């Protein structure tokens, strides 16, 4: 999927919500907790119920890896289940020397048909470039993350700028707005104006709304550009809106609230 | 495994070699290429033949992920096959917000019984700390990597030092030498003196010898400390020493050469 198609989808759906499938078997509703396929049943119900309100799904690979080979199969099955036209993100935060990054790209872009993968910039250009070689796929590079640890390195000076600013400026020269996005956390809305001066045209993947306390209004005010340019992710707030049998309906309600609010910001 | 035990193992084995199992199904010897279990048969033969010459194995998770759920099973089976007492590293380069890093730690430390995992520092303390909570396990943080992309961020100024120096200085304050190691590439031996002034007592995991061109002599001269403090990894140079049926013997010969050279530096 390229930028134009993603923008069209967002305008049609009147939503830039991405639902994060950080599915933790310990947090499943009671009636699914001891079912052998509880995880996949849960994911399918969440996907079915939130489809009208979002444009994509973000799968947090850690949660599936923690379940072993079977978890990997559930991840594959979940990606296959997401309907055509929805933007599918592997939140994997990978990145390694060239021949290894190519293996990661194959795993997520070819074998599983994700549209995008999150990547750490630390190791530099040759750790990111192998992902860019896959056509119609997005590489989403960490810039300013939503956690408090962002203060340790991302927000430290790097020459006459901050490290995350250097990352935005440097990495954005490695590919086009059809190849690259950046992760910028909702917990630092004050940084969005600065971010938009460095990467005015790129899409930003924004975690940290909901459970982590970021403001959708603030992020939208400073982050939206002519192509919309935002994908805002909510994971726990949607997945665990209810722990009863009605969890999917509760998830849909939360997703609908986000979509309704986003619809206003899109005007 | 803690630092004292690892040092004892190295002195007993007269080797600080770690064999990297970056097993690529396309590079298997012809007689294994089309076998359904060729990858695991290859790994077992490499492990069997190199045991006398190394102290550990490093599994590059990307290569197994690229083979899907079955690859994940082969990774699990490979880790189980490595005998007790050998240091088992998941070269996974993970790192995410706290609750996600905990999931990664469970996947590699609990489910698969790795002794160590490589982690990216970019997201800061709360992305690394969840790994440190697992007893008798090592978190190996990327500092100065062996690839040319290290110049993009790791070698850029960060205040009055370089970013990788800040990473060494900051991260080493988060845990003990029984909890933390650092990745420092063999392709930059000139940096090892500086590295040893910042982290004199930590173990360093050193990739980049062999195929990537780093010098074992240089790394050893500047890197060895009172606890030895080095694990030098070789992957492709060992794995693909021969593409014939005698691949395991050829791998053993290369590993033996490394061990012989290391034995000299240990005196």
pLDDT one-digit tens code per residue, B155-171 = 999 999 999 999 999 99
Q: How confident is the model at residue A188 (pLDDT cuts 50, 70, 90)?
A: confident
* Residue A171 pLDDT > 90: yes
The residue-averaged pLDDT of A175-181 equals 98
Q: How confident is the model at residue B212 (pLDDT cuts 50, 70, 90)?
A: confident
* Residue A125 pLDDT > 80: yes
Catalytic residue among B88, B93, B135, B137: B93
Of chain A, the percentage scoring pLDDT greater than 70 comes to: 100
**A19 strand-pairing partners:** A57, A234
Query: CA-to-CA distance for A32 and A34, rounded, in angstroms?
Result: 6
Indicate the residue of B121, B152, B166 with minimum beta-carbon distance to A125: B152
Query: CA-to-CA distance for A224 and A207, rounded, in angstroms?
Result: 15
pLDDT one-digit tens code per residue, B107-157 = 999 999 999 999 999 999 999 999 999 999 999 999 999 999 999 999 999
Catalytic residue among A5, A33, A44, A93: A93
- In this predicted structure, what is the pLDDT of residue B214? 86
- Full residue range of the structural domain in which residue B86 is found: 3-266
Q: How confident is the model at residue B188 (pLDDT cuts 50, 70, 90)?
A: confident
- In this predicted structure, what is the pLDDT of residue B203? 98
Number of compact structural domains in chain B: 1
Across chain A, what does the average pLDDT equal?
96
Across chain B, what does the average pLDDT equal?
96
- In this predicted structure, what is the pLDDT of residue B199? 98
Query: CA-to-CA distance for A207 and A235, rounded, in angstroms?
Result: 9
The residue-averaged pLDDT of B208-229 equals 91
The residue-averaged pLDDT of B31-52 equals 96
Q: How confident is the model at residue A76 (pLDDT cuts 50, 70, 90)?
A: very high
The residue-averaged pLDDT of B40-51 equals 98
Chain B touched by A115 (CB under 8 Å): no
B5 is catalytic: no
- Exposed / middle / buried, residue A90 (Cβ in 10 Å: 0-12, 13-18, 19+): buried
Contact A113, A78 (CB under 8 A): no
CATH number reported for the structural domain that contains residue B201 in this entry: 3.20.20.70
DSSP B189: G
Chain A touched by B213 (CB under 8 Å): no
**pTM attached to this predicted model:** 0.97
């Amino acid at each position: 999927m390229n930028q134009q198609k993603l923008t069209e989808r967002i305008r049609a759906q009147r939503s830039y919500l991405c639902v994060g499938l950080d599915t933790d078997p310990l947090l499943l509703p009671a009636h699914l907790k001891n079912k052998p396929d509880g995880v996949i049943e849960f994911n399918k119900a969440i996907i079915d119920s939130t489809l009208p309100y979002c444009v994509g799904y973000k799968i947090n690979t850690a949660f599936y890896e923690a379940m072993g080979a079977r978890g990997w199969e559930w991840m594959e099955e979940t990606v296959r289940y997401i309907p055509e036209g929805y933007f599918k993100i592997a939140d994997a935060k990978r990145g390694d020397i060239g021949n290894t990054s190519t293996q990661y790209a194959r795993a997520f872009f070819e074998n599983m048909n994700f549209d995008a993968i999150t990547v750490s910039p630390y190791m530099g250009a040759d750790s990111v470039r192998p992902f860019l070689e896959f056509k119609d796929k997005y590489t989403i590079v960490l810039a300013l993350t939503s956690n408090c640890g962002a203060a340790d390195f991302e927000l430290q000076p790097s020459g006459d700028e901050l490290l995350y600013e250097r990352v935005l400026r440097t990495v954005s020269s490695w590919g086009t707005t059809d190849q690259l996005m950046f992760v910028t956390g909702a917990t630092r809305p004050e940084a969005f104006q600065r971010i938009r001066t460095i990467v005015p045209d790129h899409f930003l993947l924004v975690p940290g709304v909901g459970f982590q306390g970021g403001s959708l209004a603030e992020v939208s005010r400073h982050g939206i550009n002519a192509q919309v340019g935002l994908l805002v992710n909510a994971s726990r707030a949607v997945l665990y809106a209810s722990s009863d049998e009605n969890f999917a309906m509760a998830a849909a309600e939360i997703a609908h609230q986000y979509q309704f609010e986003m619809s206003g910001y899109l005007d």
